[in-house]
Chain A
Amino acid sequence: MRRVIANPDFRAGFVDMLPAALALMPFGLVCGVGAAAAGASLAGAIGLSAIVFSGAAQILSAQLLAAGAPVAVIVLTCFVAGLRFLIYSAAIAPYLRPLPPRWQKTLAFLLTDQVFAAGVRRFDAGGDARAAGAHFLGSGFALWLFWQFTNVAGYFAGNLIPPAWSLDFAVPLCFIALVAPHFRSSPTIIAALVAGVGVLALAALPMKLNLIVAGVAGILAGTLADFAKERWTPH
C-alpha cells in the first residue's frame, strides 16, 4: 500500500483528477441529499456511494426507493443507465491487457465516466503500461475518495444549501459535459434526438420506465442510422 502511494504515477493520477473531482462535488452533494430524502441510514447512504459508485445509479435508486418502486424495476433501470460501463470496459480492455489480473479487477471497480476519459488519455500518451495503470489507480482513487466525502456532506448538510442556488442543476450539467463532445456524427445526433424526444413523450410512464424505453430506442435508431449512412455513402 505504501509502495503504491509513493509511486509518482499514482500521485500524478491523483492530482490530475482533482479538477474533475471538484466539478463533481455538487453532484456528490445532490446524491447525498437524495439518499437522505429516500430515508437511507448513514450506512445505507455510504453503501450507495462506496459500492454502487455511480452518480446516475445512486440518484435513480434513491428516487425510485422514495417512490416505492419494486427492487426489480430499480435494478433494471440502474442497469440500463449503466450500460455505458460496458462500452468503457470494451474500450479500455486492450490497454489493460498487459497488466496482471489483480490490477485489472481493481481498476475495473474504479471505471467511471471521468476516470475512463482520463485513463484513455494517459494510456494513449504512451510509456509503460504499469505506469499508466498506476496513474489510472491514482485518478480512480481520488475520485472515489472525494465522492465519499461529498456524499456524506450532502447526506448531513445538503438541506443547508439554499434552494435558490439550484445545486440540483449541477447533475444534468455533469452529464452534458460527458455527452456534448459525442455530437460529431449524424447517427450520434439521431440517437440522442430519438432518446430525447422519447423520454419526454413517455414521461407519463410510471417508475421512470421512459428512461429505459427511450434509451434503448435511441441506441437502435443510432445503429440503424449508422447502417443507412454506410449504405448510402459512396465508396
Chain B
Amino acid sequence: MDAALKLWTVVAIVGVLNYLSRLSFIAIFARRHVPALLGRAFRYVPAAMLTALVLPMVVAASPGDPALVSLPKIIAAIVAGVVGFFTHSTLKTLAAGMLMLWALQLASRAMG
C-alpha cells in the first residue's frame, strides 16, 4: 500500500474508533445500564493500560535497544510518580521528573 494512503487509512479508522470510544456512553449507550462486571473491569483500565504504556519508555534507554537500561530515567520516573500521587498535577509531575533526570545526568557526567 502507498505510504500516504496507509497513513490516511490509519488516521481515518483510528480517528473514528477514538471518537466512538469517547462518544460511547455519552450518546450511544446513554440509556443503557453498564453491566456490573464491565463496570468493575473499567476501574482497572487506566492503571493497567497506562502502566503498560509507560514502563517500556522508562526502562528502555533507547527505543532501538530495549536491553539498555537507564538508571537515571528509572529514578526520575519514581520521583515523578511520588509527586504525581500527592499533587495530581501534570505540570508539577513533569517538572519533578525532568529536573531529576537532568540532575542525575549532570551528576553522572561530572563523575565521568
Interface residues on chain B, number (Cβ under 8 Å): 69
A187 and B84 contacting across the interface, CB-CB below 8 Å: no
A44 and B8 contacting across the interface, CB-CB below 8 Å: yes
Interface residues on chain A, number (Cβ under 8 Å): 95
Interface flags for A12-28 (1: CB within 8 Å of B; 0: not) read 00000001101110100
Does B110 lie at the interface of the complex (its beta carbon under 8 Å from any beta carbon of A)? no
Partner among A51, A63, A164, A192 whose Cβ is within 8 Å of the Cβ of B47: A192
B55 and A79 contacting across the interface, CB-CB below 8 Å: no
Interface residues of A in 165-194 (CB under 8 A from B): 165-166, 168-183, 187-189, 191-192, 194
B48 and A169 contacting across the interface, CB-CB below 8 Å: no
B48 and A191 contacting across the interface, CB-CB below 8 Å: yes
Does A222 lie at the interface of the complex (its beta carbon under 8 Å from any beta carbon of B)? yes
Shortest C-beta distance, B107 to chain A (Å), equals 14
Q: Using Cβ atoms and an 8 Å threshold, which residues of chain A touch B76?
A: 169
B90 and A195 contacting across the interface, CB-CB below 8 Å: no
Interface flags for B30-52 (1: CB within 8 Å of A; 0: not) read 10001001011111111111111
A172 to B80, CA, bound (A): 10
B58 and A23 contacting across the interface, CB-CB below 8 Å: no
Smallest CB gap from A77: residue in B:
B14
Smallest CB gap from A194: residue in B:
B48
B49 and A81 contacting across the interface, CB-CB below 8 Å: yes
Residues of B within 8 A of A (CB): 1, 3-4, 6-15, 17-19, 21-27, 30, 34, 37, 39-59, 63, 66, 73, 76-77, 80-85, 88-91, 93-94, 97-98, 101-102, 105
4 closest A-B pairs (Cβ-Cβ)? A218-B48, A222-B44, A180-B84, A177-B93
Q: 9 additional contacts, CB 8 Å, given A53-B18, A210-B56?
A: A23-B91, A61-B14, A90-B24, A108-B26, A180-B80, A195-B51, A199-B51, A211-B52, A219-B44
